[in-house]
Amino acid sequence: MTAATVLWVVVLALLLPILQTRSLREPLRSGARLLAEQPRRLPAPDVLLGRLAVVLVPSAALLALAVVPVGFAGAAWLSTSADLVWFNAAEVLLWVAWWCAGWSPNSVLPLVGAYRFLAQGLSYELPLMFSLITVGVAAGSLRVSDVLLAQQGVWFVVVMPVAAAVFMCAAAAFASWGPFAGPMGRDLGGGVLAETTGPARLALSAGRALFLGVAAAMTATLFLGGPAGPVASGWWWLLLKTVLVTAVMVALARRLPVLPPDRTVDVAWVVVLPLTIVQALVVSVLVLRGVL
Amino acid sequence: MNADAVAVSGVVDLVGVGALGAVAVALGVAVFVVDSMARATFALLGSFVAVAGLLWTLGLAYLGAVTVLMMTVEMAVMAVFMVAFMMNPAGLMPMTMVHAGRSAAAVATTVFVVLVVGVWVVDWSAVVAGASTATGDGMGPTGSAGAAMVEPTLQVGRAVMGSHMLVMLVVGVTLLATILAATVLATDRGRYDRFGDDLSRRRPDDPVTGGLPR
């Protein structure tokens, strides 16, 4: 316990200067501004599907979070016999949500952004599925608790580095972050979000950011041992790993240019997808030979 | 769990199944009532999600989740194609999903009646017993207690990779061939457009670069 206490004192000491900076106050300030902002409406919008999107983006993030073991006791809100498929299904709801968000304002640029999200989705979805399947094969189960049990010896990032890297890239893609921010791109004047203002914009942006955090927590759970640590295993390790993964993703995102979605399709299908299949094959052989 | 608790959970399940079934049917009807392609598409998706909820209520977590996963992708892609290819560009003008109403209603009613009669007439206990012997892995339920012990996800996996593997392979390859054939037929660019009339061009002339050197 003492080691963990020391660790937390160090982490808090590092975080303290950040708390005082503008970068932390800015999201609160702009969030409050969006809450008070007058919503803008174009002629003939599809209000119903717009509302569906506003509800669906944050809810899908919470549904995905339900199978991540973020509880203080190291348990998820929900444990089923198919947690990994549940997570994938929650993520894929974003396809509908963002398409509806881009469709509803009755404007060109948001719709182009929505189609960009779907085009990007067709690139990242299959590699993401194969990386999840690889995790399931190594754990011999689709339960997240079994995945954690299987990582007691060695973390999955060591066994399946390709699957881990692909999962992180796909996570950035379904959160439309960094190089995969094309659907909300500045070249489209904000893309999907170009015409959305007020509380609706706040809900969509918050849902998108929440999904990035959930994806980071899932990365830490599936590939970095989750709540397990060298000393005093517990929820604080998962939190620390999640913060670190998020920090890495945000830092990389700030340094990489936005990729046009038409430049990711070939790479995803010709390079990344075969790589993930080979990764699944290698892990399967390791499981069959009893190494894992 | 005592008998009262079982009865209560049975009632809760029944109400849940009834509500989800009603939602599935209502959204299915909505597909043919709404006047926008986008709304019709997502009403259909909502109907499928309600069916996934039914599967979930029956304890089939994997099948429920995979139904949501597959149907969502399918409907998103379908929205793209419906808006792009069907008679109502952009889907903003009022439209209807009903064509040849009378014959369609006759077919739909017939199928519905056949399925409902089938549900009540078939002896499901015999079907379940037959399926568990067909998997032939010794994992099949040996009685009512055994049936509850085996995880449904495992049973599905064993069936797909065991007794039903031939069917799954044939279906998979057929679907792939259909998708490829449909894409080839739909695209307006062939190899002569890409490589020239005598196919002599070394690099294809493609309007979209794709991301890799060709």
Query: Mean per-residue pLDDT for A71-94?
Result: 90
* Chain B residues lying within 8 Å of A267, measured CB to CB: 211-212
Which of A89, A121, A263 has its CB closest to that of B65?
A89
Note the pLDDT tens digit of each residue in A162-214: 999 999 999 999 999 999 999 999 999 999 999 999 999 999 999 999 999 99
Which of A46, A265, A267 has its CB closest to that of B36?
A46
* Chain A residues lying within 8 Å of B62, measured CB to CB: 81-82, 85, 142
Which of B42, B62, B92 has its CB closest to that of A96?
B42
Sorted by sequence, the CB contacts under 8 Å of residue A1 that are 6+ apart come out as A232
Nearest Cα of chain B lies from the Cα of A262 at a distance, in angstroms, of 5
Q: How far is CA B47 from the centre of its chain?
A: 11
Residue A28: per-residue pLDDT: 85
The residue of chain A with its CA nearest to that of B67 is: A89
Structure tokens at A159: 């066994």
Q: How far is CA A68 from the centre of its chain?
A: 12
Other beta carbons within 10 Å of A75: 14
Helices then strands, counting H and E runs in chain A, come out as 12, 0
Which of A48, A86, A92 has its CB closest to that of B72?
A92
| A222 burial type by CB count under 10 A (0-12 exposed, 13-18 middle, 19+ buried) | buried
Residue B143: per-residue pLDDT: 43
Does the beta-carbon distance from A271 to B212 stay under 8 Å? yes
Does the beta-carbon distance from B42 to A80 stay under 8 Å? no
- Angle CA A127–A129–A134, to nearest 5: 95
Residue B87: per-residue pLDDT: 55
* pTM of full prediction above 0.90: no
Which of A46, A82, A118 has its CB closest to that of B65?
A82
Say whether pLDDT at A276 is over 70.
yes
Does the beta-carbon distance from B75 to A96 stay under 8 Å? yes
Name the A residues in 27-86 with CB < 8 Å from any B CB: 44, 46, 48-49, 52, 80-82, 85-86
Query: Is residue B211 within 8 Å of A267, Cβ to Cβ?
Result: yes
Rama region for A37: left / alpha / beta (φ>0; ψ in -120 to 50; rest): beta
Q: How far apart (Å, rounded) are the C-alpha atoms in residues A291 and A137?
A: 13
Residue A73: per-residue pLDDT: 78
Q: What is the DSSP string of B137-167?
A: SS-S-SSHHHHHHS-HHHHHHHHHHTTTHHH
Query: Mean per-residue pLDDT for A112-140?
Result: 94
The low-confidence residues of chain B, meaning pLDDT below 50, are: 1, 89, 136-147
Residue A80: per-residue pLDDT: 86
Q: State the average pLDDT for chain B.
A: 82
Does the beta-carbon distance from A266 to B212 stay under 8 Å? yes
More confident residue, B113 or A231: B113
Nearest Cα of chain B lies from the Cα of A66 at a distance, in angstroms, of 13
Q: How far apart (Å, rounded) are the C-alpha atoms in residues B14 and B24?
A: 15
Query: Is residue A4 within 8 Å of A236, Cβ to Cβ?
Result: yes
3-class SS of residue A62:
helix
Residue A262: per-residue pLDDT: 83
Which of A85, A89, A267 has its CB closest to that of B212?
A267
Q: State the average pLDDT for chain A.
A: 90
* Chain A residues lying within 8 Å of B92, measured CB to CB: 44, 106
Residue B130: per-residue pLDDT: 67
The answer to whether residue A119 neighbours chain B at the CB level (below 8 Å) is no
Query: Mean per-residue pLDDT for A85-93?
Result: 96
Rama region for B91: left / alpha / beta (φ>0; ψ in -120 to 50; rest): left
Does the beta-carbon distance from B68 to A49 stay under 8 Å? no
Residue B146: per-residue pLDDT: 47
Other beta carbons within 10 Å of B32: 15
The residue of chain A with its CA nearest to that of B68 is: A89
Nearest Cα of chain A lies from the Cα of B64 at a distance, in angstroms, of 9
Query: Is residue A84 within 8 Å of A142, Cβ to Cβ?
Result: yes
Q: How far apart (Å, rounded) are the C-alpha atoms in residues A166 and A188?
A: 27
Q: How far apart (Å, rounded) are the C-alpha atoms in residues A240 and A237?
A: 5
Residue A261: per-residue pLDDT: 82
More confident residue, B93 or A112: A112
Does the beta-carbon distance from B76 to A265 stay under 8 Å? no
Which pLDDT band holds residue A284 (cuts at 50, 70, 90)? very high
Residue B136: per-residue pLDDT: 47
Q: How far apart (Å, rounded) are the C-alpha atoms in residues A129 and A60?
A: 17
Q: What is the DSSP string of A233-282?
A: -SHHHHHHHHHHHHHHHHHHHHHSPPPPGGGTHHIIIIIIHHHHHHHHHH
